């Protein structure tokens, strides 16, 4: 839990620094974030669940913490969040099957008579 609190604290400090430096790129990022997660064809909750899965796949702890908290604030249940994580687990393992198929091709080439 200390790691989670540390992530939150560091995000707040960095956010304040970037705002105080009047970073145009960071400001554009915040605007993009606002537009991205606004209700549209997909509601904000669904978008946050998607972001959780992507966060797990990219192993971004700060992203996971942020988007899980945001999804919960939008009314996502523990089980909805868990399913988003489970989809990421499957996608991560699925990615490995692509590498495994290539490895099998290499094995066939290396051992043509077996």
Q: Domain boundaries in the chain?
A: 1-36, 43-114
- Asked if pLDDT for residue 98 goes beyond 90, the answer is no
Q: What single-letter DSSP state applies at residue 59? A: T
Question: In this predicted structure, what is the pLDDT of residue 54?
Answer: 96
Q: For residue 8, what are its two tokens?
A: 């939150």
Of 66, 38, 41, whose CA–CA distance to 52 is shortest?
66
Q: For residue 32, what are its two tokens?
A: 């993009």
Residue found under tokens 């064809």: 41
Question: In this predicted structure, what is the pLDDT of residue 6?
Answer: 95
Q: For the ranges 9-13, 33-37, 83-87, 96-100, which has the lowest average pLDDT?
A: 96-100
Cα–Cα distance, 36 to 34 (Å, whole number): 6
Percent of the chain with pLDDT over 70: 100
Torsions phi, psi of 103, nearest 5?
-60, -40
User: What CATH class does 43-114 carry?
Assistant: mainly alpha
Question: In this predicted structure, what is the pLDDT of residue 50?
Answer: 98
Cα–Cα distance, 14 to 23 (Å, whole number): 12
Cα–Cα distance, 19 to 80 (Å, whole number): 33
Q: Are 85 and 57 in contact (CB under 8 A)?
A: no
Question: In this predicted structure, what is the pLDDT of residue 99?
Answer: 87
Higher pLDDT, residue 100 or 41: 41
Q: What is the pLDDT of residues 44-89, one digit of tens each?
A: 999 999 999 999 999 999 999 999 999 999 999 999 999 999 999 9
pLDDT band at 9 (very low <50, low <70, confident <90, very high): very high
Q: Are 43 and 51 in contact (CB under 8 A)?
A: no
What is the rounded average pLDDT for all residues in the chain? 95
Torsions phi, psi of 56, nearest 5?
-65, -45
């Amino acid at each position: 839990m200390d790691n989670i609190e540390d992530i939150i604290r560091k995000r707040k400090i960095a956010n304040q620094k970037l705002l105080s430096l009047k970073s145009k790129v960071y400001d554009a990022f915040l605007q993009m974030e606002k537009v991205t997660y606004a209700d549209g064809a997909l509601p904000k909750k669904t978008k946050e669940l998607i972001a959780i899965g992507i966060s797990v796949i990219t192993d971004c702890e700060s992203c996971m913490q942020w988007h899980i908290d945001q999804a919960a604030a939008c009314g996502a249940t523990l089980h909805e969040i868990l399913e988003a994580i489970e989809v990421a687990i499957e996608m991560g393992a699925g990615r490995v099957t692509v590498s495994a198929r290539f490895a099998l091709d290499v094995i066939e080439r290396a051992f043509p008579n077996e």
